[in-house]
Structure 1
Amino acid sequence: MGIVIIGGGQAGLQSADSLRTEGYTGEITVVADEPGLPYQRPPLSKDYLTPGKEALPLPLRGEAFFTDKDITLLTGAAATGIDRTARTVSLEDGTMLPYERLILATGTRNRTLGCSGAELPGIHSLRTLADAQTLHAALPTARNVVVIGAGFIGLEFAAAARAHGCNTTVLEFAPRPMCRALTPLMGDWFAGAHEHLGIDLRLSEGIDRFEAGEHGRVATAVSTTGASYPANLVVVGIGVLPNDILAIEAGLETENGILVDAQLRTSDPGILAVGDCANFPHPRAGGHIRLESVQNATDQARHAARTIMAAAGGQAEANPYADLPWFWSTQGPYRLQMAGLARPEDDTLVLGDPAAAKFSVLCFPDGILAAVESVNLPADHMAARKLLAGSARLSRQEAEAEGFTLKAAAKSLLNALA
């Protein structure tokens, strides 16, 4: 019956690729609900919106990949149900796909606003290629842009809008940008950095309603403080929700996503879940966590392939999934890179020069390095990944030593392991 993969994003295609790499010779079918070749999502809010840049998506894999790897790609095909007893997936057009193993790589969907005027023309989300194409066409003539939410997508878009010369206002209900993902120190630095770019960042101020102009399009955003901001283009970036409806309807266990074990199996061992939709146990999180990143999507896909192959061959299971999380975000001239999982309460140490926009924040819960946030220092980021992925334990006292650098510490670690 082969393997069916629902989802044509990073996690879905990497699952198919890794299955072939691991030696799987059966049928593989990837079900992708968007038309056309699957593409990379991260550039849509960054490079894709750069002034003067041609609006071309970056494919995840070329057409030849599917032929060469003997993988069936069904595009514009939405999965509508899973019959776990019959082991079939039903598609919107009535097609039934039998499966031996099923991988759910369904990703996420954008949260939506419920305030008055949220459906007015001129208010957009940013997730799909179609969304990005619409915004790419609108930005050159937009004058007043309002962004709802100072998360990664919101700030990436705000920086792009400012590069187009737009008057750009960001409304964020939290006291700091990217509040859930960054240390307070780094969040406060980015608040100042975006203000330096000319972005009007309004913190502790959410959206109350939108008002239309004379042509019925959005013209004004009214915040929770009662302040009004002119807006002929609005982008809503208030986070995402896991696409777990198929899993719920199939009776799989869910909680903030599809619950999986350390081998990425759902409550049905014949079904695995990977990527943004999966809520999985991770030792660095101290329990279950759901991560939204390219790294997690691709690394989990590789692990899921190994899990399937071990079960098929009667082999011992691989070690539990515990790959180091790492992330990135490009916001105008600022390249933010993170390794590990930082917590707001972590003790922190700064290396480098924040005033020059080249520095790193080291996080030390219980006195041991657990995460590093870097701005415009890719060498620090790569060194942090090497340090955190290994078994070395770096103390704050060691990091405070005169002449300490992450690069030298990582080199020392590699020499010790050689």
Structure 2
Amino acid sequence: MVANTPLVIVGASLAGAQAAQTLRAEGYEGPLVLIGEEDELPYERPPLSKGYLLGKEPRQKIYVQPAQWYQENRVELRLGTTATALDPAAHRLTLDDGSTLGYAKLLLTTGARPRRLPVPGADLAGVHQLRRVEDSDRLRELFRTAQRIAVVGAGWIGLEATAAARAAGVAVTVLEALELPLLRVLGPEVATVFADLHREHGVDLRLGVQVSAFEGTDGKVSGVRLGDGSLVPAEAVLVGIGAAPATELAEAAGLLVDNGIRTDASLRTSDPDIYAAGDVARADHPLIGKPVRVEHWANALHQPRTAARAMLGQDTVYDRTPYFFTDQYDLGMEYTGYVEPDGYDRVVLRGDPATREFIAFWLADNRVLAGMNVNTWDVTDTIRTLVRSPDPIDPARLADPDVPLGEV
């Protein structure tokens, strides 16, 4: 590395902060710059749709590190700053104030942005998204005052926000284009659990519907027009239809981009001095056997550690098993593994989903690809072992609660 030329991280997120922390922990003593678009210190996003949104967690708990940590560890934190251009040949970034910044190695942790619904009325006041802390703040205030809202999209963000709204006593109509909530993630065998859960908590869950427009009065949304012509009244709308990786900087710089910034298993991009991690990275995965992009907290927590070590020249790869969790009403769930909608041939259930205390396993050729434990705890490590094993298992033993999970 060129002396006095900094390592630079673009994206002051959980991923960016974790990378900075790892670089210092691994003994890097040189200049280190962390650039972030938001004015907030790096923070974790799960509380924005869970504990913080519910009002159960204070704001200070969302931050990865207090402000003094960055000072004490000589991390130059440039908040409210956007990198507008990247020149890999010159090893130089252009920032939104017109200045430039050279780098020895660069890590992109630019994350993802919520997808917008391209229908008339999408820009009306009262149409919300949930990605940043100010979005969560607006929804918290909304839940104190609104009587009825609509949520477009029955994914994790939409359903968690729905649960928070119901906890605050707000009537919620959820509008989902598919036949079940979370269908692409869980498949029809398990997705019904979440449909039943929300309906039991008073949610008006409308499945297989299309949104054609948002309608409003005096510039403020007042309802959602559906494809069949009907109108769903709402004082506000939350759109949660997924997120797209923020690849614009990388793409303009000529890096290989394909549903995320493509990297090898060490998180190195098509440029040997540029790395990517977190929501924006689509990385080769030795366990899964193909490139994947994972938009979950655990990935943003752990993947940048590998990237940071690779930036320092260490021989390292990222092969952790994907993991995520959700909390909705009295249901807590952990999901370990990775499986695409058409990537499994059977689902094995251990326990009765009707009780909401069970484990579901997704299998292909009797090999466990993923497992989800619902209100069943202290089994994640065992599920991870099953997922990482290349050996087939006996589905009957896997389903039998009298057979210890570790002995399947």
Q: What's the TM-score, normalizing by structure 1?
A: 0.91
Specify which of 106, 112, 120 is matched with residue 124 of structure 2: 120
SS where residue 209 of structure 2 aligns?
coil
Show the counterpart of 2:203: 199
Specify which of 332, 336, 341 is matched with residue 338 of structure 2: 341
Q: 1:360 to 1:248 in 2, by over 3 A?
A: same
Correspondence list, 1:165-244, <5 A: 165-213=169-217, 215-244=218-247
Show the counterpart of 1:90: 94
Show the counterpart of 1:9: 13
| Aligned-pair CA distance for 1:165 | 1.1
Show the counterpart of 2:42: 38
Greater displacement, 148-157 / 290-299: 290-299
* Aligned positions, number: 402
Deviations 1:244-289 (A, max 9, x none): 0000111111011111112111110000011100111224444221
Alignment check: 8 A CA contact 1:4 1:99 kept: yes
Specify which of 281, 291, 313 is matched with residue 310 of structure 1: 313
Show the counterpart of 2:384: 385
| Aligned-pair CA distance for 1:178 | 1.3
SS where residue 208 of structure 1 aligns?
strand
Which runs of at least 4 in structure 1 moved beyond 4 Å after TM superposition? 51-57, 389-393
Show the counterpart of 1:314: none
How far apart are the structure 2 equivalents of 1:306 and 1:91? 26
| Aligned-pair CA distance for 1:200 | 0.9
How far apart are the structure 1 equivalents of 2:360 and 2:395? 12
Q: 1:194 to 1:2 in 2, by over 3 A?
A: same
Show the counterpart of 1:415: none
Show the counterpart of 2:319: 322
Show the counterpart of 1:260: 263
Q: 1:230 to 1:57 in 2, by over 3 A?
A: farther
| Aligned-pair CA distance for 1:95 | 2.6
Q: 1:348 to 1:219 in 2, by over 3 A?
A: same
Counterpart residue type for residue 45 of structure 1: S
Show the counterpart of 1:361: 360
Q: 1:65 to 1:100 in 2, by over 3 A?
A: same
Deviations 1:266-314 (A, max 9, x none): 1100000111001112244442211101211222111112212226xxx
SS where residue 180 of structure 1 aligns?
helix
Alignment check: 8 A CA contact 1:48 1:56 kept: no
| Aligned-pair CA distance for 1:136 | 1.0
Deviations 1:340-386 (A, max 9, x none): 01344431111123222111101221111221012111323343124
Q: 1:402 to 1:118 in 2, by over 3 A?
A: closer
Show the counterpart of 2:144: 140
In the alignment, structure 2 segments of 5+ residues that lack a partner are none
Counterpart residue type for residue 63 of structure 1: A
Matched-pair identity in %:
37
| Aligned-pair CA distance for 1:101 | 0.2
Alignment check: 8 A CA contact 1:339 1:372 kept: yes
Show the counterpart of 2:27: 23
Counterpart residue type for residue 335 of structure 2: M
Deviations 1:374-406 (A, max 9, x none): 211132334312443466654424314561233
Counterpart residue type for residue 302 of structure 2: D
Alignment check: 8 A CA contact 1:148 1:206 kept: no
Show the counterpart of 1:109: 113
How far apart are the structure 2 equivalents of 1:156 and 1:370? 25
Correspondence list, 1:400-411, <5 A: 400-401=399-400, 403-406=402-405, 408-409=406-407
Q: 1:28 to 1:390 in 2, by over 3 A?
A: farther
Show the counterpart of 1:59: 63
How far apart are the structure 2 equivalents of 1:120 and 1:57? 32
Deviations 1:85-132 (A, max 9, x none): 221111111232211000000000010011111111111111111111
Specify which of 149, 156, 162 is matched with residue 158 of structure 1: 162
Deviations 1:210-236 (A, max 9, x none): 1113x4321111112322211001000
Greater displacement, 277-286 / 242-251: 277-286
The CA RMSD measured in Å over matched residues stands at 1.9
| Aligned-pair CA distance for 1:38 | 1.5
How far apart are the structure 2 equivalents of 1:101 and 1:55? 33
How far apart are the structure 2 equivalents of 1:378 and 1:29? 40
